[in-house]
Each structure stands twice: as C-alpha cells, then as structure tokens.
C-alpha cells in the first residue's frame, strides 16, 4: 500500500438529506391495472416474481429478449423535479442461483432527467449485477445526480441489459427508492477562484495553463524534501457511519511537465472521528509516470463511512518519494464532484480511443483491451468508468449502454 500523508484541518460545512416527493409502491407489492405494478411502467421481459424477494412477497424479475445486443428490459417511475435539484435513487438487486446472470448481461439503476415533452435529456447510472456478482445476496446500488436545464421530472429506471452474446439469466429487483436530497456542495469545484474554499498544503496552486473546463484548475507537484512528501487540497463535511460517499474528478499531466519517477497522484475519501483523527480512507490512483499526457482522465472513488465517523474529507494529493532523487513533474485537477450516493457511471464525453467520436467502437475496443485481444494506444484512456478500481468488461458494458441510448456525445 502506498503511503499517504494527511495535513491540516478544514472547516466543516452543513449537509443533510431532505425528503420530498418519493416513488410509490417501492417493493412492487401492489398490482397495477394498466401495468403489472401499480405506479410503475414495465417494458419487455420485466415480470413479477413471488418466490424470490427481499421484503414483502414480490420482486420484479428481468431478462433479455434475444433480439439484439444490449436489448433492455425494465421498470420505471417518475416524480416531479426542477433544474438544479439533486436526487438519489436506489434499489436492491439479486443474482439468483436459480437463474444466474450470464456472459455479458448486466443490470443498471438509472436516474433519467425528463423534459416537458417526455423525452430523456440525460441520465446518471449506477451498475447493478453482472455475471461475476455473488449469488443469492441482495445488494444495494445507489445513484445520485443533479437535474439539468429543462428537467420537469426525475425518473428511476431499473434495467437489465442483454449483451452481444444474447445469453440467458435474470436479475431481480426489490425495495427501490427515489427522492430529492441535499448534497454536501463543494465550494469552487472547478478552481475558477484559485484555491478558494479548499485547504491546501505543499506545492499546490491555482492555475490556468492546463484546464478541462472554464479558466481554472489546481496544479500540484512535489516539495523536493522529506522522506515521502505530499502536496494537495481537501474539503471536509459532516458524515455519519453507514453513509455512502462518492468523489469524481478529472486529472492529468502535461508532456512538458510530466509526472515522473516514483511520483503518483491520488483521490482519497478520508473518514474522520470527532477529534479529527483519521479512521481510515478509500483511495484511487489518478496519475503516475505511465499516464498519457495532455489529456484529462476521469477519476472516481466511493466508500462507506465506518463506525465512529463524524466527518468525511475529499482529498486530492500528489506524493513524491525520495527515491529516485525526488523526481519532478506536476499534475492538474479540474471539475471535482463530491456527495452522498454511489458512482454515477461514465461521463458522456468518454472517448476511449481518442478519435473525437463516442460510439460503440469505444466500447468494443475497451472490451477487446480488457480480454487481451487488443493492445491500447498510448493516448487511449483507462477504462474504470464505475470507480471500482477495476478496468473490466462491466465498464465496457456500461459505456455501450450509454451509447446505445443516445446519451453519449463529445
């Protein structure tokens, strides 16, 4: 495990969840009149299941129809929403040994943003089960998002997608939820006001020479002294044990100031107790000496607050070991997000092969790279879209689902 240095203390900011309109019939107990489940709209192979359930006496079972790659089955329900409001959706899912998910099939829990014409503006997504998921264990997937301009409704959509192999197998859903929430709210998430709102340490500066959006970013590099020194920024918020928190960002380095040697850069979620002591942390690698330069790469990290947690901290850190000889190079950060909830899936500008098109070729090449059939070009992006620290077929499937839905574009 790589060593991470933690410095300074940050002012806490208020956070809480505020319930408003919520979905009805969340565990599918009430049968519908024009639909199978009251208040839910079902499509394709989404049927009631009376022998397998998490609560009550019913769940919904979904499976593919064998028609084409990434055909979808599901159920959805909408509640009123307005631009700028944050919503959190969730559902429990099961990969049952009686009809296990097979091959490249997978599930997803989506929040779709609906306009006044009833069409999807965009959506946020969290992965549910796939063929590698544990059997006979109910698992919760959570997705959080902020309604874009033009939104009049937030729609929770529970899905099964059948991959190109058109394999059999089913996913089961129960105990769904969707409600408006108040997220933590990062201050200055794009560093447009320098480092305002962030607690900074070491060689960290507001910068505008390499940005992803707007005119600002955060630049950090080593201190060139000490045994294993750190530079970085963080913000801190109140938190409670059992809460799920997710951070996402874009990070990169440049060809003329490339991270080198043993230097590396991470995004961390730190869990703090009442006196500010570190309990534990989650970490994901963002940049190191092998990272392709002059490109911002997506980074995400998710964790569940352990016992004793009273505060959570999102930290962006550059680490410089003294061997070999305090190597140079800098990293840049932009467009940070942090709040309660699970990972939201790929960004809609995820151009894996960097050909300035987001299409099924990106998903296909990702899959081929992950199974060893294709060697990636040096400029291609990494493939960890869902923030689970693994680049695998699940990530390629998620991207394919976004492309097929028409929601991915540069």
Dump pLDDT digits (tens) for 282-322: 999 999 999 999 999 888 888 888 999 999 999 999 999 97
Of the candidate ranges 6-10, 42-46, 262-266, the one whose mean pLDDT is the lowest: 6-10
Peptide bond into 243 cis (omega under 30): no
DSSP code of 303?
Answer: E
In this structure, what token pair is assigned to residue 168?
């059999």
**How high is the mean pLDDT of the chain?**
84
pLDDT given at position 410: 47
Residue appearing with tokens 């969707």? 178
CA separation for the pair 196, 101 (Å, rounded) = 48
Give the CA distances from residue 140 to residues 54, 62, 89, 375, in Å, rounded to whole numbers and listed in that order.
11, 16, 10, 35
| Range with the poorest average pLDDT among 223-227, 326-330, 331-335 | 223-227
Rounded Cα gap, residues 23 and 218, in angstroms: 40
Report pLDDT digits (tens) over 82-107: 876 778 888 999 999 999 999 999 99
What is the per-residue pLDDT for 11?
21
The per-residue pLDDT for 18 is 36
Q: Tell me how far apart the alpha carbons of residues 382 and 253 are, in angstroms, rounded to a whole number.
A: 14
User: Which of these ranges, 101-105, 122-126, 276-280, has the smallest mean pLDDT?
Assistant: 122-126
Q: Between 236 and 185, where is the model more confident?
A: 236
pLDDT for 159 equals: 96
Q: Which residues of 264-273 are buried (b: 16+ CB within 10 A; e: fewer)?
A: bbbbbbbbbe
| Mean pLDDT of the 169-175 span | 97
What pLDDT score was predicted for residue 239?
Answer: 85
| pLDDT-wise least confident of 60-69, 90-99, 172-181 | 172-181
Report all structural domains of the chain as residue ranges with CATH numbers, in order of start. Answer: 41-181 (2.60.120.260), 199-340 (2.60.120.260), 360-405 (no CATH)
Q: What sign does the dihedral 172-167-375-402 (CA atoms) show? A: negative
d(CA 346, CA 298): 9
pLDDT at 21: 67
Q: How are the residues of the chain apportioned to helix, strand and coil, as percentages rounded to the nearest 5?
A: 5, 40, 55
Reading the block at residue 352, the tokens are: 């894996």
H/E/C letters for each residue in 92-138? EEECCCCCCCCCCCEEEEEEEEECCCCCEEEEEEEEEEECCCCCCCC
Strand intervals (E) in 222-375: 228-238, 244-252, 264-272, 278-288, 297-304, 311-321, 330-340
Q: Residue range 115-123: average pLDDT?
A: 90
DSSP E strands: which ranges in 5-103? Answer: 41-43, 46-49, 59-63, 71-80, 86-94
7 has pLDDT over 60: no
**pLDDT for residue 4:** 27
Q: How many CA atoms lie within 13 A of 288 on its CB side?
A: 11
Place of tokens 């990070």: 251
Of 205-219, 259-273, 315-329, 364-378, which gets the smallest average pLDDT? 364-378
Confidence class for position 385, pLDDT limits 50, 70, 90: low
Give residue 208's pLDDT band: very low, low, confident or very high (50, 70, 90).
Answer: very high
> What are the phi and psi torsion angles at 402 (to 5°)?
-65, -45
- pLDDT tens sequence across 341-352: 655 445 555 778
Q: Is 362 helix (H, G, I), strand (E, B) or coil?
A: helix
Is pLDDT above 60 for 76? yes
């Amino acid at each position: 495990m790589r060593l991470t240095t933690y410095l300074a203390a940050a002012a806490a900011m208020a956070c809480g969840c505020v319930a408003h309109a919520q979905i009805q019939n969340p565990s599918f107990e009430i049968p519908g009149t024009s639909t199978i489940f009251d208040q839910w709209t079902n499509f394709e192979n989404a049927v009631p299941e009376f022998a397998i359930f998490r609560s009550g006496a019913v769940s919904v079972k979904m499976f593919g129809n064998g028609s084409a790659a990434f055909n979808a089955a599901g159920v959805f329900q909408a509640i009123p929403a307005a631009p700028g409001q944050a919503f959190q959706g969730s559902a429990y899912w099961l990969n049952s040994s009686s009809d296990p998910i097979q091959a490249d099939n997978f599930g997803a829990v989506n929040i779709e943003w609906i306009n006044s014409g009833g069409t999807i503006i965009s959506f946020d997504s969290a992965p549910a089960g796939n063929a590698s998921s544990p059997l006979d264990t109910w698992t919760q997937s959570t997705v959080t998002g902020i309604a874009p301009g033009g939104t009049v409704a937030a729609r929770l959509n529970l899905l099964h997608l059948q991959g190109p192999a058109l394999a059999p197998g089913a996913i089961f859903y129960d105990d769904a939820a969707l409600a408006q929430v108040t997220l933590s709210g990062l201050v200055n998430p794009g560093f447009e006001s320098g480092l305002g709102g962030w607690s900074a340490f070491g060689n960290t500066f507001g910068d505008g020479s390499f940005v992803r959006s707007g005119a600002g970013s955060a630049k950090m590099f080593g201190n060139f002294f000490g045994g294993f020194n750190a530079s970085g920024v963080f913000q801190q918020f109140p938190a409670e044990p059992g809460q799920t928190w997710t951070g996402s960002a874009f990070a990169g380095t440049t060809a003329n100031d490339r991270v080198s040697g043993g230097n590396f850069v991470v995004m961390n979620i730190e869990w703090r107790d009442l006196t500010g002591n570190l309990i534990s942390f989650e970490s994901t690698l963002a940049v190191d000496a092998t990272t392709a330069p002059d490109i911002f790469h997506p980074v995400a990290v998710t964790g569940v607050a352990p016992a004793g947690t009273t505060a959570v901290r999102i930290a962006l850190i550059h680490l410089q070991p003294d061997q070999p000889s305090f190597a140079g190079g800098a990293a840049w950060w932009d467009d940070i997000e942090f709040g309660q909830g699970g990972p939201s899936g790929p960004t809609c500008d995820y151009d894996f092969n960097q050909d300035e098109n987001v299409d099924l070729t990106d998903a296909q090449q990702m899959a081929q790279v992950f199974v060893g059939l294709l060697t990636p070009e040096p400029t291609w992006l990494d493939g960890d879209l869902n923030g689970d620290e693994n680049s695998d077929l699940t990530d390629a499937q998620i991207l394919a689902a976004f492309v097929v839905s028409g929601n991915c574009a540069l």
